[in-house]
Structure formats: structure tokens, C-alpha cells
Structure 1
């Protein structure tokens, strides 16, 4: 991963003796024992990290394979590109980096996230990858150096993504489709209407491929509670709605994700 100093924006270099990073202005960043770099100087905001129980629940959910159809769809789109370095902006505890590494041998992986406990877990589980504590929307990536970025519905300006990517670099963009978590949506708002299918248009990029990944999760009471805790829809539910969904909600939950693969032109 080609990084820049969070203090002066100069390129960071590898310090062989410490395995840390430094810039020409003599700002130095030592790696944590687990191998990740903390590129947010100063104290952290506790709100940037999940509670230990919620992070454990997220990891258990993902490791049980509930999102495996999405991983397979991503790997199908990426495999024809050949061996590359993928950087996941908003990587959480690194599940998608680990899952894709199993399907894309020879690839290199890295991730950026604000949550220290998530990056700690990601780096511990995948020590051969590069994980960074930083704001994904303002990641300390050098301009024009990134090979491939994975972005899942992250609010990053298209111009910024294009700036980070090298000429000919790729962007895999993931966003919810019109049926995503439909049963939760109608449980909270019975008059919900399905929006038409709409694929993104990203200025400055050429579209290479697109794929719609649709599958269902089998829910029990525990998983319904987990969905409420982790879904943006669930965050808006009141106490009564949360109780009804957890206790008497649906047995299945649709997942509807739109994957689109883009390339930055070789010549701007």
C-alpha cells in the first residue's frame, strides 16, 4: 500500500529496522505488535469503534458464511484482472480481505478503517495483509498509486477515488439494490415501495462489468436482533418495532447487492 504521512502529506517509506514508516520530514510511525499502522495521530474517538460484543457478533456472523454468495460474486469479477493489490476502504475486521485471499491466490490485500479494535482483529487474523487505522473517506493514500480499491457504499467523492488510483487502476463499487433487506424495511414501514433498479454512474471511470448478487439469509431470533443492531434501517426503529421484529419477524431476509467494476483511464 502506497501511503502518505498524515501530518505533512509526504510519501511514507518503509523503515527496514523497525518495519515502521517514515517520511522525508522525519515523521515516524512504528507498527503495533500485531503489525498494523496507526495513522491518526492523537486520541481516538470511542464512537469510532464497536463494542467488543458487537464486533464479536459481526465476526461470528461473517465467519459462518452468511455473505459467501457476495464474496463469490466479487471474486468472479476480480479474478480476470490478474494478481493485484486490493485495498478495502472501510474494511472493518477484515473479513472480505480474508475471504477474497482464499479465492484469489497471489493477490495482496490491505484495509483502512477508523475502528482500532476492528483493525487489531483484522491484522491478527491476516498478518500478511496491511491494515491501517485511518478515516477511509480521507485515507492517507498517495495520489495515483493505488492498484485496486474496494468501496462498499462509502461516502467518498468519486474525484477522490480517481485521484488515489493509478492510471489503469480499478474500482470495485458495492451498493445496496432495491430489494436489500426488504423484509426488514416493510416490517418497519409497511407502505414501503420498491425503488427501480438503478446502477451507478461514476464520472471519470470506464465501466468494465456489473453483477447483481441476490440471496436470502435464514433468520432466527438471535440473527433478527443482530440485523437490527447492524442495519441502517434498524437504527431508525423505535423500541416497539425492534421488539416485534426480533420476536415475531420474518424467517428470511433478502440480500440484494449491486457490484460494478470500473477502470481509471490510462490517459486522463
Structure 2
């Protein structure tokens, strides 16, 4: 974490600005947060911590890292990078950054922008900090985000909860938000194995207070997976936790899977005050 990127962060206790002093982040009121060995900070306020280890667990995070490292989602990442490149993107916030694969791709594709990412999962942030040491990562949540007011030109939210008020606060006036949601048929082939009656994803309302809708871009592809990639895909999704035992058993016997994947990238502009 560099001093410049540390300056993008705010204290989770008093919301004051943070300064990098040695291996710690400190605010004017003397609240201090040590950096972990990997270079990230834990900026999740204790009153916002509703579980002993919030966010995605180690198994899910590591499955996601292993799956994304193979490049299976690279066509979707490429569309995201192209879309980001059409917008001001010098300062990017990734809300719900996960294990950093998207940020690594974007950092390399967009000419080394300043990136700040946060996630509730400590394991995800640890892996992200190791994968993208040029960025700043911290443990934190979208509904009480650890980024100072108006810092970001561009905010990314990929398959994470929508915290409109905080997203607006972190963006400069006129800054942009890219909200990635699944298409109706995303992972439908996986659900055909898991469920007796597979279902399409709900297409939700895309208008949010404080933001003007700008455009939408869709990216889709078909994957054919073999071996451990099949189980890694399953383990990195919420379906892992809510699939009946018989569905999981069917997938365990599946050594080859073909499925559609698709993201809808919804672009918004933050309204002026």
C-alpha cells in the first residue's frame, strides 16, 4: 500500500482521513490500524462485524481464485475492461473486490490506474493484496465503506450487494458506477445438473436513487469444463450452500459440464448535488 492510496481511505471509527505511517494507518484522532504482512488493513468497524469471520469463507474464496486463474471468465473481464476504458478511470474503487482477479486484469488492461478494493472476507482481501500489490486493499463492507468522500472516478460492484448511498458518497460528482449482475441464463447448465427444475435468474429493476442510468453492455459465452474446474465453479457460487444433497451428488459424478455464462454491465452516472 502506497501513501497516495492510503490517502483514499477513511477511519472506520471516526471517518477521519488516514495516513500511512510505517506499517500502520493512522487518523488525526489517533485511531491506528496495522497492515498485515500482505499489505492490507482491517478497516471493518467492530459494530459492523456480525459474524466471527464475515464474508465468503476460505473454501469458497480459494475455489474462486483457482477457477478464475484458469481464464474461464476472461472473455467477461475483457468486456468489463473495454467498458471501463470508455469512462474516466484514474481512480477506481472495487466494492466487494473478492480475491482480486478482476482488479489484476483491470490494472494491467487500463494502464495502471489507482485501485482501492474492499471486501468483508479477510481471506479474499489477503489473496487480493498478494495478487495486486500495486493496489490498496482492506477488509470492509459496502454499507459502511472505508473510502473517503468523492475519491473515486469509477466504482465497480460485481455480483455484490448494492449500497447506493455509500456508492454515491465515494464517487466524485459525475463519476460512474458499473454494476455487474448475472444474465438470465448465467450458469444455467450448472443448474440443470443441480436442480430437478432449473430456473433462470431474475432480471431486476435497474434504476437507483442518486444515479442516472447511462447504458448497458452484455457479455456472454459458453464454457465447457472438465475435471476439478467443475467442482471449483460449484464451490465458488452461492448454489454450493443451498443445493439439495442429491443435486450435489449428481454434480460430483459429472466430469464434464457445458454451461452458459453471462454478465450484464449496467453503467450509471452519479448525480450532482
2:10 touches 2:148 (CA, 8 Å); kept in 1? yes
Instruction: Choose 245-254 or 118-127, whichever is displaced more.
Output: 245-254
- Are positions 1:90 and 2:96 aligned together? yes
Residue 209 of structure 1 and its aligned partner are, at CA, apart by 2.5
Residue 111 of structure 1 and its aligned partner are, at CA, apart by 0.9
The equivalent of 2:264 in structure 1 is 258
Residue 199 of structure 1 and its aligned partner are, at CA, apart by 6.1
Gaps of 5+ in 2: none
Correspondence 1:15-34 to 2 at 5 A: 15=21, 18=22, 20-34=24-38
Residue 23 of structure 1 and its aligned partner are, at CA, apart by 1.6
Instruction: Choose 191-200 or 230-239, whichever is displaced more.
Output: 191-200
Structure 1 segments of 4+ aligned residues over 6 angstroms from their partners: none
Describe the SS at the equivalent of 1:87. Answer: strand
Note closer, same or farther for the CA distance 1:227–1:125 as it changes in structure 2 (3 Å cut). Answer: closer
The number of residue pairs the alignment matches comes to 264
Gaps of 5+ in 1: none
Describe the SS at the equivalent of 2:253. Answer: helix
Correspondence 1:165-244 to 2 at 5 A: 165-194=171-200, 200-244=206-250
Instruction: Choose 170-179 or 190-199, whichever is displaced more.
Output: 190-199
The equivalent of 1:46 in structure 2 is 53
TM (norm. structure 2) is 0.86
Determine the C-alpha separation between the residues in 1 that align with 2:206 and 2:152: 21
Note closer, same or farther for the CA distance 1:95–1:194 as it changes in structure 2 (3 Å cut). Answer: closer
Note closer, same or farther for the CA distance 1:105–1:39 as it changes in structure 2 (3 Å cut). Answer: same
1:86 touches 1:110 (CA, 8 Å); kept in 2? yes
CA-based RMSD of the aligned residues comes to 2.4
Deviations 1:49-89 (A, max 9, x none): 533x5543322211111010111110111112244111111
Note closer, same or farther for the CA distance 1:139–1:83 as it changes in structure 2 (3 Å cut). Answer: closer
- Are positions 1:13 and 2:19 aligned together? yes
Determine the C-alpha separation between the residues in 2 that align with 1:141 and 1:212: 29
TM (norm. structure 1) is 0.88
- Are positions 1:139 and 2:142 aligned together? no
The equivalent of 1:149 in structure 2 is 155
